[in-house]
Structure 1
Amino acid sequence: MLNHFRLDKVYSTVSRGFDEIKSLTGCVWVTTTPIIITVEPEVIKHVTSSPEFLNKARDLYAHFNNGVINGLIVNPVNKWKPDRKAISPFLGHNNLMSFFPLFNDNAKNVKQKLIAMAGRGEQDVYGVIKAYGLQLSILTIMGTKIDEGSDKYKEVMNAFNILVHRMAQNSVYSSVGLGFLTLTPEYKKTLKYLRELVRDLIKENLSLKAESDEYEDGQQTLINLTLKAMEQGLFDANDVEIESFTMIAASYETSAIALYSTIVLLAMHPEIQERAFEEVRSVFPDGITSVEYDDMKKFPYLDMVIAEALRLAPPIPYIGRQAINETELRPGVTIPKEMQVIMPIYELHRRKELWGPEAARFNPDNFLPENIAKRHPCAYMAFSKGPRNCIGFRYAELTLRVLLITLLRSLKFSTTFKYADIVFIPKVTLTYKEEPLLSIEVRA
């Protein structure tokens, strides 16, 4: 039944809608609900920065209300503010710096796995990226390692895949009032399994670190911070479970799709891949032992490549806010309390009015300093904007860069899949209708 919604046509339909109304902001009706949809940068700036729009859009995020993954993503503003404050040290600069050894170990593991796949024709690289991404998320967030290849690991990966698939279905069905159709026995069984998994990880964490709030070398895992918040009366046991699980799911999904999309686009544009490789080799002429934070500023071209990949394939394709009170959307336009405003980032990043006649082309030069200066700051928002942006964006950016630098230094990617044939589907994160397979070559 889901296929009847033609998810592969969603983005082209949205694009045609803006073309037809000849405006970057409009109102659409979803069954009996009016919703504002906008790719107008000045309106987006107002919505993402105004305290009147700190609540998330009810209908867009309905699929998160499954008792497992919601937390900071959908909490109303009165709960979101103290909860974010409680867990923000996990994503603070010093704590992220302490995770660099884990980021590097993860990158080396991915590289070795891909080296073993080299010379075998086109392979499923995304599966490898997701597997190790989930492992890293559980390790940094829960302080627990689940060995890749173990039965438990396979069960966890399968459960996450079912969760994401069912949430995607729910997001579509909920838009027409049929969300209950996705509550299948399989989905309920998966939700139960994942809640029990997180509870087990919490118990394991407590037994290992009962006398300490710190992880190795001063690292603070998210679970330490949420348990501390519970001791202080800020969280209850359910909050600890949900915030921990939400961060695992969000960090691994967004980081994995960002890395995969960047590699895919480089494989399809070999001249850009070679230029990025040469930049990495100039910094690490004798190979990479580890990538440190101070190395990050040495890759201006790679930064442009990543930004361009996230422009064309933003990990979160849609975001939405909801008016807390009756408020002004733009000068002269007032919207009622609880009116929802949807911002389709995917479409925003491809509007010719903002990005020129070749907006759909993969062109890292879009992020040359002089070109950035010409655009509205809200024409690009890979990780949202404002106080309710993606709290984990720095985690995602750092893990993405460490992985990409490590992989590009040792491996060359190619594919017979054509850029023009890519079809994206809006799910919880951006999804490929058909995931391009990649050939891998080990560089000398």
Structure 2
Amino acid sequence: MSAIIGVETLIIMVIMLLLFASWRLSQKRKYYRSVTTKLPTMAGIPFIGVAHKMLDITKLFHNISVGCDTLKTSTACVWMATTPYVVTVDPEIIKHVTTSPEFLNKAKDLYTHFSKSAINGIIVSPAKVWKSNRKAVSPFLAHNNIMSLFPAFNQNANNVKNKLESLAGQGEQDIFTIVKECGLQLSLLTIMGIKVEEDSDKHKKLLQSFTALIDNMGIDLLLGWLGLRFLSHTPHYKRIVKYLQDLVQTLITENLHSEDMNNFAEDQRTMIDLGLKALRQGVFSEKDVEIECFTMFAAAYETSVSASYTCLVMLAMQPEIQERVFQEIRSVFPHEITSVEYDDLKKLPYLDMFIAESLRLAPPIQFIGRQSEQDAELCPGVILPKGMQIVIPIYELHRRKEIWGPYAHRFNPNNFLPENIEKRHPYSYMPFSKGSRNCIGFRYAEVSLRIILIHAVRSLKFSTTFKYEDIVHVPHISLRYKIQPPLRIQVRAN
């Protein structure tokens, strides 16, 4: 009898929970009715929405494209579990969202994997905090400071070239590890102000720890869409975060004790130097210095590595385009390259077109998100209620046929001829996001990327049997490949 009563009680509790959940969902749907009645809406399955379509990450980008085509719209409302999101690939709406003060805050669900990790500085800070912190760190990305980093960029590019050259004649090889190793070394030097010997135990541990951190954040991002984010916060992950935080804290402590803070040199422009300057001026606390330095380190490293690898892969898959890039570089550097200077970058328009097309089809940042902090107009007739989140799938934006033509999926640098750029909306291309809250490391990534490619292509030739049409991209902190194409490397004769 008691067992029967227990089962009945359990059934009643389940029914009550379902009724309560149904009531909450109906209230939420009512709250967002001003959006769902004005925009095409994918409601999906009750309590699940379309989240089940996100389980296979290898089909995520395909499913987004199919959804846009099915709804026959560039802006829609999509329910993920019990949360609605506005998803848009309309360049005019994107411009409004990324430039309007009403949408300065990041979408909370899309960036939780940042805010719960060590990388929770200006990437995810609330608008009021972000404004002052961005101002404090912006000198790192100022033109003059980027110019001062050219020796480090050239040294790094030469290092990448030498490591790749060591693989020549060995058939197709994994080069992603080399790109990561050199990217880590550059970020440590230019942002943290330290040089770690390659192949040392410390260098290996740093690379392993940072790779594990980024990989775990990627898992956190995917699990978050399913409401299972807690599964990614393992003891191992927490140990990695602590190790990396301790590294930054040690650097801060050493600098504080070794420098007279009242006589801080104005020309010190590594990121940690700027953070300590902000600390002296009372703008930052020591914790702020730690967070912002680590955030800049992660942003610069991740975007640079992703973009560099993508461009090398695209060169290998497009031999005719690679030859044209090589001939242009050789016209500027007829002999062996000693150093690439800023003025040299202005002489390579086809290289710029090639890079732009590579990042169109494989943007390092696949999604960005904003959130309305008050009732705000999205477009004529559509008012978003407070708290509504907007997702901009950059990967899909860069492949829309109505923007890029019927062959949008093909690799074609001519998309970036001046006359073709002029025809497109300026917010139809945004590999590092756009607006005031764009990727903080984009200038760093753009310059370092160009210098890497100039050194590499002038000395080396790349090829692969991996077909362009067989590439499968998967979402991560920056864009990743389901299978990383291996490359064959040959040394060019001068």
Shift of 1:202: 2.3
Amino acid at match of 2:123: I
On the 8 A contact 1:110/1:128 being kept in 2, the answer is: yes
Query: How do 1:250-261 residues align onto structure 2 when only pairs under 5 Å count?
Result: 250-261=299-310
- 1:161 is matched with which residue? 211
Indicate yes or no: 2:486 matched with 1:437.
yes
Among 131, 140, 153, the residue aligned to 1:103: 153
Shift of 1:188: 1.1
Query: How do 1:7-406 residues align onto structure 2 when only pairs under 5 Å count?
Result: 7-207=57-257, 209-210=259-260, 213-214=264-265, 218-406=267-455
C-alpha separation in 2, matches of 1:382 and 1:41: 13
Q: Percent identity?
A: 60
Deviates more, 1:21-30 or 1:226-235: 226-235
C-alpha separation in 2, matches of 1:442 and 1:132: 20
Shift of 1:4: 8.6
Counterpart of 2:86 in 1: which secondary structure? Answer: strand
Counterpart of 1:152 in 2: which secondary structure? Answer: helix
Shift of 1:176: 2.4
C-alpha separation in 1, matches of 2:258 and 2:167: 37
Amino acid at match of 1:278: Q
Query: How do 1:405-416 residues align onto structure 2 when only pairs under 5 Å count?
Result: 405-416=454-465
On the 8 A contact 2:268/2:274 being kept in 1, the answer is: no
Shift of 1:214: 4.0
Shift of 1:186: 1.1
C-alpha separation in 2, matches of 1:219 and 1:189: 32
CA 1:210–1:106: 2 relative to 1, 3 Å: farther
Shift of 1:207: 5.0
C-alpha separation in 2, matches of 1:17 and 1:156: 41
C-alpha separation in 2, matches of 1:399 and 1:151: 26
Output the TM-score relative to the length of structure 1. 0.97
Amino acid at match of 1:35: Y
Counterpart of 1:158 in 2: which secondary structure? Answer: helix
C-alpha separation in 2, matches of 1:251 and 1:325: 32
C-alpha separation in 2, matches of 1:391 and 1:412: 32
Amino acid at match of 1:274: E
Shift of 1:416: 0.8
Per-residue CA distance 1:44-63 (angstroms, 9 max, x = gap): 01001101010000000010
For CA contacts below 8 A with separation 6 or more, give which structure has more relative contact order.
1
CA root-mean-square deviation? 1.5
C-alpha separation in 1, matches of 2:352 and 2:489: 22
CA 1:439–1:219: 2 relative to 1, 3 Å: farther
Amino acid at match of 1:399: S
Shift of 1:210: 4.6
- 1:427 is matched with which residue? 476
Per-residue CA distance 1:331-352 (angstroms, 9 max, x = gap): 1111011110000000000011
Shift of 1:17: 0.4
On the 8 A contact 1:95/1:219 being kept in 2, the answer is: no
Deviates more, 1:206-215 or 1:169-178: 206-215
C-alpha separation in 2, matches of 1:208 and 1:368: 51
On the 8 A contact 1:425/1:432 being kept in 2, the answer is: yes
Counterpart of 1:187 in 2: which secondary structure? Answer: helix
Deviates more, 1:66-75 or 1:195-204: 195-204
Amino acid at match of 1:380: Y
C-alpha separation in 1, matches of 2:129 and 2:370: 16
Amino acid at match of 1:134: L
Shift of 1:305: 0.1
Amino acid at match of 1:251: A
Amino acid at match of 1:234: V
C-alpha separation in 2, matches of 1:437 and 1:209: 46
Per-residue CA distance 1:64-100 (angstroms, 9 max, x = gap): 1224111000000010000000111111111110111
Amino acid at match of 1:155: K
C-alpha separation in 1, matches of 2:107 and 2:286: 26
On the 8 A contact 2:179/2:309 being kept in 1, the answer is: yes
On the 8 A contact 2:296/2:440 being kept in 1, the answer is: no
**Count of residues in Structure 1 that have an aligned counterpart in Structure 2:** 441
Per-residue CA distance 1:155-180 (angstroms, 9 max, x = gap): 01111111111111111111222111
Shift of 1:418: 0.7
C-alpha separation in 1, matches of 2:152 and 2:295: 20
Counterpart of 1:71 in 2: which secondary structure? Answer: coil
C-alpha separation in 2, matches of 1:351 and 1:155: 42
Shift of 1:370: 0.8
On the 8 A contact 2:299/2:440 being kept in 1, the answer is: no
Structure number with greater Rg is: 2
On the 8 A contact 2:252/2:276 being kept in 1, the answer is: no
Shift of 1:206: 3.9
Output the TM-score relative to the length of structure 2. 0.87
Amino acid at match of 1:299: L
CA 1:176–1:3: 2 relative to 1, 3 Å: closer
Per-residue CA distance 1:346-388 (angstroms, 9 max, x = gap): 0000011110111011100000011111111111011111111
Amino acid at match of 2:153: F
Counterpart of 1:298 in 2: which secondary structure? Answer: coil
Amino acid at match of 2:242: K
